[in-house]
Amino acid sequence: MIKKVITLNVFILTTMGYPGYAQVKIGNRPEAVHPRAALQIEHNTKGIMLPVVENHTELPNYNAAHPDLYENNPTDNGLIFYSKEIKDVVKYDGYRWIAATERSIKNYKNLSILGSNSTDQTVANVLGITGRPTLQFNILNDFDRNNINNLGLTVNANGEITIPASGFYRINPSVKTSSAGGLSVGNAATIVSLQALYVNAVGEGWQKIHENSFLLYGLLVTGGSSNSINSFSTTKYLHAGDQIRLRAGIQADTGLNVGTGVTFKMSDKDTYLYIEKLN
């Protein structure tokens, strides 16, 4: 048996008035250590072999019961492995494992993703008439659901969101719905309306920024429920202090609705409000 030995050269440097500290160098030229390196590895034919896992289930903190498959453990922030599954180095950010080339969502300073822990909102269309309640989003800071508030948005009791700084914003609402049954002669559509209350407006109330309809096909006679997602993306310049809100409802697209209803699934992970400051 041939035994290979790697020589470790440890240098302890002391400076007057400061405690000593150790530097470790592995490999060639043990006498040359970078002054800021606690550990330095130097070799012209050999590299570093990281710990290897076959797939994501072998990574520390894996838990299939969690929404993002990993337990939150901030003390493990900084761990790295090589994953054969994705053929890349992966890093742990305290909440989940991501590829080394991927940024943790916590690092996106110009982004807020608001979720909701509100109860579901159900509205009905009776003879073409329906209300449009304001959908309630919350500052959850739930990393398992990718809910963050790096923009510093505030939300009041009415579900109205205040913009803290002027600039262009990309706004992407996503709302999961389920049909509640009823009678429809023709088709019905869910409506999601993004509105703004501008601080500089004189004598004006809430203004529509963008409105999106999602057609519920084949509602001649509906029963039971089916899920769908109404989402869109729009870009708007907003001033500091402007407020935005999201309202939703249902209306006849063609024909006449008699009692057709829709439920907006507020606490679902597919219901969120993505707001990104572009400048």
Count other C-beta atoms under 10 Å from residue 178's C-beta: 18
pLDDT at 221 (0 to 100): 43
95 and 115 belong to one structural domain: no
The closest of 109, 64, 105, 58 to 79, measured between CA atoms, is 58
Is 183 inside any structural domain? yes
Is 6 inside any structural domain? no
137 and 59 belong to one structural domain: no
Looking at 102, 137, 171, the residue that finishes a domain is: 102
149 and 96 belong to one structural domain: no
What total of structural domains would you count in the chain?
Answer: 2
pLDDT at 179 (0 to 100): 72
Predicted confidence (pLDDT) per residue in 26-39, tens digit: 888 888 888 898 88
Is 268 inside any structural domain? yes
Distant-in-sequence, close-in-space partners of 148: CB < 8 Å, separation ≥ 6: 105, 106, 108, 111, 112, 113, 141
Is 192 inside any structural domain? yes
Average pLDDT over every residue of 229-234: 92
Q: Which domain holds residue 95?
A: 24-102
Q: What percent of the chain has pLDDT over 70?
A: 79
82 and 166 belong to one structural domain: no
174 and 42 belong to one structural domain: no
Predicted confidence (pLDDT) per residue in 85-138, tens digit: 999 999 998 888 999 888 777 778 899 999 999 999 888 766 555 678 899 999
Using CA atoms, how far apart are residues 245 and 207, in angstroms rounded to an integer?
Answer: 10
pLDDT at 253 (0 to 100): 57
Using CA atoms, how far apart are residues 18 and 240, in angstroms rounded to an integer?
Answer: 49
Q: What token pair was written down for 183?
A: 């009678």
Q: How many helices (H) and strands (E) does the chain have?
A: 0, 22
Using CA atoms, how far apart are residues 223 and 122, in angstroms rounded to an integer?
Answer: 15
Looking at 50, 72, 102, the residue that finishes a domain is: 102
